[in-house]
Structure 1
């Protein structure tokens, strides 16, 4: 199998090649798997849900046969050669009040994280899982997270990525959502040199619901490639994609957000909106909001916008005694905060806000 990262994270519906949005190529190869020795056992204690390290016999049990992930090689590595991962299973008819926190940390001796995570929410249950990727040194991350939300359940999956500036972050996610179930996906991307994320939700059940709320911050020469896809299969399904970002220095970003209304998804509704603040004339920003439809009785809306900070708003804040740099930080933080507030940890929220301020301080 070809382990090169050539033309990965393909857009669901290809467009003109010269636009440079169909996929991304990274001049690296997937590293050979090796042991990941940092223990996460102490962080798995939660009496309200079943949480354990991933076992080989459960790793690919619920993965859709047609899910491609970022590409075949990276997906196969996560399925068959992972070196860490968690299995979370909620209790039927029970709402877990305590989130499950997982911290995948990399250091010089443990610089390769290949995680395979599986979250199963039993009927009428609720579970929140927070996964944090961080490093102080160069690291390589390749991950897969599967979510199976059974009837009437709610899954809140929150991912925070703060790997070092010369790291690579490859992250694939797929969710299966049954009748009246909800999957809320929150993504905070602040680190890594190459940041490539893929998320697909299949709204299979009647009145199933899928939501994505994400923020990203590009600085220096960071390269961000985001690919979100929500498939509407069931009747009266609902979806929402909300993405907010800021780009500075010479960073690059491609956002691909797709709502696909399949035949039979009558009376379904979906909307997506992405907004990017451009803080440098040298950034490259490309956004592709896509609506696909083979069903007539549906309601889909999409929008993408980008631009510099509103001068009137900037002037108003500066008139209250703030410098221009401080005013810009306040405006960006105000845009990010509604999504950051969805994280169920004051410590994590504070760390994220501080990280954003540090990155904006040199703007």
Structure 2
């Protein structure tokens, strides 16, 4: 039975931690977060009344069954994994990690791919140095709730100078609407390392009367000279609420690439931020979303420049149908002293229905003179001339519009570093558009 957050506090958080036999320092961390839950307010995304959403139920701990072989995974999970049996993967089922596979070659190089709960016990120094430091528990009520209740989760550490050629994939799957489903992903790329990481979130709770709250967080740390390519695809049922806060902290001459497919069928808060601390660091963010039915979506992308000669580029593309609403914010902030920095952003919304709403809000906050910054935003309908041209070649209007929409979204889809997931993404897009 779910418990409302209004009754959640320090003692309840501690009880959960102790039930998992966690070390005392982690019990204390959860206790502090539990106390904050009662005192902090919900986040306030612009023009998005999240206080009306069902955010006061966090579910109960319902771990999946641990397996040692990929062949023993539930069929619904196996169907979402890459066909390559040698892939590096980690799987969360409801409230716990149930399977992880990493090649012997990567293990020999010192790469770590663990559940976050295991990392808290076995990698204490790295864990405590980074966990909940880019996304802090005092940001708002949902952050505190996440810090108190996170479960399962993924810990990836790539040692200095290690280059991983094949993407590492995490599948976070829920089929119990009353489970606590709050995964936390922590990626640490040490100096001059390189890795591509693919996060896939999916549910199978259609028809459930309960509301599943997916309250997730991602923290990525790219040390000097490191490159991380982070792709995420979310495809949850419409009775779920998708809360996703992503943060990256960049060292000197490092790079983060965000490739985000917010394709959930229910309400969404998605907030992706790159903090360019190091000189010469770069961030590239590409986000796509499709709003259908009466979805409410808050999509925010941010780049905060601190270092010298830093560069950021942000592109968000959304397609809106039916009565869906999307508030799309792009925020570029160049701090005093971040000279020679360059921040660019583009937000584009394609409207397919007169009852849909899409607001694109480009925001530039510049505290330094010797910089470059720019933005572009547009909200419009499918180009009639493009439709006419395709129809003149014997293509039906419906198919012409479909081709134009796929072309509109393809700059992000094409960058997904897994062929199977790209194909799946095309299927999700086709299904959402009807």
Matches of 2:38 and 2:267, distance apart in 1: 17
Q: 2:113 aligns with which of 28, 31, 51?
A: 51
User: Do the aligned residues in 2 keep the contact of 1:262 with 1:294 (CA within 8 Å)?
Assistant: yes
From the superposition, tell whether residues 227 and 25 of structure 1 become closer, same or farther in structure 2 (CA, over 3 Å): farther
Corresponding position of 1:96? 164
Matching of residue 120 in structure 1 with residue 182 in structure 2: no
Give 1:72 shift: 2.0
Matches of 1:70 and 1:219, distance apart in 2: 33
Matching of residue 80 in structure 1 with residue 142 in structure 2: no
Give 1:73 shift: 2.0
Corresponding position of 1:17? none
Q: 1:8 aligns with which of 43, 56, 76?
A: 43
Give 1:34 shift: 2.6
Matches of 2:244 and 2:267, distance apart in 1: 11
User: Do the aligned residues in 1 keep the contact of 2:42 with 2:142 (CA within 8 Å)?
Assistant: no
Per-residue Cα deviation, 1:207-261 (whole angstroms, up to 9, x for no partner)? 1001110100001111110122110000000000011110000000001110000
Corresponding position of 1:15? none
Corresponding position of 1:195? 268
TM-score (norm 1): 0.90
User: Do the aligned residues in 1 keep the contact of 2:296 with 2:325 (CA within 8 Å)?
Assistant: yes
Corresponding position of 2:198? 130
Matching of residue 28 in structure 1 with residue 54 in structure 2: yes
TM-score (norm 2): 0.76
User: Do the aligned residues in 2 keep the contact of 1:243 with 1:274 (CA within 8 Å)?
Assistant: yes
Give 1:10 shift: 3.9
Segments of 5+ residues of structure 1 without an aligned counterpart are 12-19
The secondary structure found in structure 1 opposite 2:407 is helix
Matches of 1:149 and 1:8, distance apart in 2: 27
Corresponding position of 1:337? 410
Q: Over the residues paired in the alignment, what is the CA RMSD in angstroms? A: 2.3
Corresponding position of 2:380? 307
**Number of aligned pairs?**
352
Q: 1:255 aligns with which of 328, 347, 369?
A: 328
Q: Which structure shows the bigger proportion of residues in helix conformation?
A: 2
Corresponding position of 2:32? none
User: Do the aligned residues in 2 keep the contact of 1:4 with 1:28 (CA within 8 Å)?
Assistant: no
Matches of 2:130 and 2:389, distance apart in 1: 52
From the superposition, tell whether residues 183 and 79 of structure 1 become closer, same or farther in structure 2 (CA, over 3 Å): same
In the TM superposition, structure 1's runs of 4+ consecutive aligned residues that sit over 6 Å from their partners are 3-6
The secondary structure found in structure 2 opposite 1:61 is helix
Matches of 1:125 and 1:64, distance apart in 2: 22
Larger Rg: 2
Matches of 1:64 and 1:81, distance apart in 2: 13
Corresponding position of 1:225? 298
Q: Which structure shows the bigger proportion of residues in strand conformation?
A: 1
User: Do the aligned residues in 2 keep the contact of 1:9 with 1:196 (CA within 8 Å)?
Assistant: no
Give 1:90 shift: 0.6
From the superposition, tell whether residues 221 and 10 of structure 1 become closer, same or farther in structure 2 (CA, over 3 Å): closer
Corresponding position of 1:153? 226
Give 1:71 shift: 4.9
